[in-house]
Structure 1
Amino acid sequence: NEPKLIKPLLINTIWTNSVASYFPQIILKNSSEIRAKVEKIKNYFPKSYFYETIDLFSNKEFIFLQLFIPYLNSNEKKAFISIISSIFKENIISLRRYSWDGFLHTFSRKDFYDFNKKEFFYSKDLFNQYFLYIRGVLGEELKPFEEKSVSTVKIWSKKKGMTSLIKKINQRIYSEDISFNTKDIQELLNFHQNLEKYFMNKDKFGIAKKEKFFKHYIKSIKFFPALQKFGLEQYFLYITPFDLEDIDFKLLFTNTFQKIKHLASIDNSNSLFIKYIFPYNDPNTSYLNWLRSTNKIREYCLFSVKSISQIFHFNNNLSSNGWYLDSNNFNTYIQNILFNSNNKDQTS
């Protein structure tokens, strides 16, 4: 049989960064039922495309689905992935988000297009040679794709209803009023520079909460407790088990567990980020040590925060024209934090 003609996908020439900033890529098992579901949900998004592919080793068929979605906050992202999980269930191979410009650059037109004849030209060996080229770039023998059950699906709730989620997102977008009024920013700066005075005066703080700058710019105020004064310390654990089924979460969390986070994706990574309170400089690592000794975890990192440094500064980064973020200034600032012990911006 003659190979299929390679044609340019013109939809990829449409610039979508103004309406999309979240790009989840979903790999699904291929079947008529799944294709029907993909056709149904892809119309909810500003831009989407999918194509069918075959694994070179196993000859199993998969669907690669790319979605272009406006900015989602954390709760909206959680709801979105839960809905996708409920729709496709065990047919999800992976769901991950990527940052990119929205264009595909896999093939170059000048390599496969005859400008004299004005037609595409390629040999039957194109994909075989391209496979060899990729293997040569990677510098190792490519291993066959190993399909595993995605145990992280059980982490997501069983939410349904893409329409209701889109309605909530649109309501949030329409209600956002981005403004950099000079007077409001100055009042915000004054509030920021006199936080202690406001916190120590209940009436004064109550008046500030009713001001326009407070309602417009301040979402929440968080405090870092001085745990060391009570002989305690906050610890963070990043851990990636080989299989979540091998983990006894009661032993992992202990009775000092505070919070747990996991990646906004569906795959076999199983990475978790856990926050604890332990006695000062004496974290409980007995179960962690056992997991490591029995080869139940792929990687882990247990650490505590010794000092905190601000990333943004009102006097450097925020003006009536919006945020001013220069990468060179940021690099200099980070170098001062890391290597200059006399840096005034560093706070312990």
Structure 2
Amino acid sequence: MKTKAAVIHTKGEDFKIEDVELSELKANEVLVKVVASGVCHTDAVARDMGLTPFPVVLGHEGSGIVEKVGSGVKTVEPGDNVVISYASCGHCENCLTGHPSTCVNFNDLNFGGTDEDGNHRIHQDSKGISTFFGQSSFSAYAIANERNVVKVDQEVDISLLGPLGCGIQTGAGTVLNKLKPEFGSSIAVYGCGAVGLSAIMAAKIVGCKHIIAIDIHANRLEMAKELGATAALNSKEVDIVKNIKEITNGGTHYAVETTGVPVVVRQSLQALRPLGQVAIVGVTPEMTLDVHNDLMAEGKTMMGVIEGEAVPQVFIPELVDYYKKGLFPFDKLVRFYNFDDINKAFEDSKNGFTIKPILKIAQ
């Protein structure tokens, strides 16, 4: 079928909305009419750094309505509201033990540009166009494997829910699924974008005593306090490690590092108390670390977390339920854009004007 999609042909260029052709559904695939799609930093990295072969249709926080299902699909049916999340194989050791976010085939399925059989789902002028995260949701219609698709509550505005498929899932899941802080414990969150603010809301849900937000933008720190942070520190103005140790009487039990900035990564370690744990979720370059003083000598743990260690079919409905109960007001992070304004949405995200842009695709 023919549809409209935002295509990138070469590294770093603007998105262009063009006609593309979608393949026929396979038995395990779902056709989704995309209502909206979140804009994530990973989309910008893919555009500028070439994570996936060009040409490509990006977008990996899609939400919409099931249009059609393949003959083998059992979990959704036409008319269902769904969020489309990351791709996993379902048969490797990690998938089979409940850790699909660390699927052995994760990179191939999400960044390789083709489906698991090595075929393109999207074509233009008879040439293959790469798929992103197994969905390519910057499109009026998207094809995804049944494993990517999560049925959600129809009482909630479907245009709002796409970011639960990646960024918001990552922040909240890192706290709720991986770190699992105890009631009354302390946590620091470095970077108050959508991922960091989601981590802050999750920390409030579990009852952390100290929830410390760190950023360089005053408006984001104000938002962090509104969402549950008990302290907000501007790293341009104060000594972060010293202040955190004073606030917590020795350092935090936990930390979430979202920035990927090497100096901030070290601060997140140094501001932990002995036996503290930090989860690294930001894309971090090569850096120097004093393993003895920053890590080993005080029994600290530094871990990488992908997609919030979430099983999307379980975790995303839980986040929707928290939202309905007023416990996870992620809608405060969102600004909507028309699909035609996709390049402006990316620019507003880059300059900090918008925390979480969402493109409204269905008219």
TM-score using structure 2 length:
0.22
Higher helix share: 1
Higher strand share: 2
